[in-house]
Structure 1
Amino acid sequence: MRTRAVLIFCVLCFVCACTSYDMFVGDTLKKKMVFHQRVKDFAIPFKKRIKTLTYADPEKRIIKGVAAIDNDFSHASANITEGGVGYSYVTVRMKSQRHHPLNFEVEIYV
């Protein structure tokens, strides 16, 4: 019983240590990437940087997956505010931590 509790504790510590701030929604494996863009913004002291990226598929294909990858590992966050998986458009809002730059790669798959 004690070994099991120690094992569970170790797994939880590992999960907490490996927390990622990247956003993956839907299925990106073996799907066709139709959009890729790097979103960068410089740091301003005492300010959070917020950028919004909007993509609408010109052929009205249904989006199967969205990935927003934090290149700087800076604890920045990304959220889908409109559309997304199951729609032909998506709006992604990216927000940095205070005093940190914003550096994301956004990929959209159909």
Structure 2
Amino acid sequence: MSGRNQGQLLEFIDINSDQYDPVTVGVSCEQALAAMYGQYADGSLISGAAVFPEAYRRAKLPFLAWLFSRKILQPALALAYQFFAKNRHAISRTLGPGALYLVKRRAASQ
């Protein structure tokens, strides 16, 4: 996503960095590790699967924004996100190397 952030509409902050202030944001590090959070410019927060269509919209990925915003898919997306949030480290270990290979291969071909 950061590679598609040409409009600088997204900002990614590591919750373990000095840039992150849980008091200002209103989300503890433990809460942030348990769920995905997004914050609008006005300071309001969104969490869970609702973050994805907003992020995809700002990353100029309209089909994914549309898909992830469909009300009929929200229950399935919420369940899938809960599964992912609980198992993200194992999922990353399993899928990460292959995904990294594909990204590097694509970047080399461009």
Band of TM-score, shorter chain: under 0.3
**Relative to total residues, which structure has the larger strand share, 1 or 2?**
1
Q: Using CA pairs below 8 Å that are at least 6 residues apart, which structure has the higher relative contact order?
A: 1
The normalised TM-score by structure 2 is: 0.17
Q: If the length of structure 1 is used for normalisation, what is the TM-score? A: 0.17
Q: Which has the larger radius of gyration?
A: 1
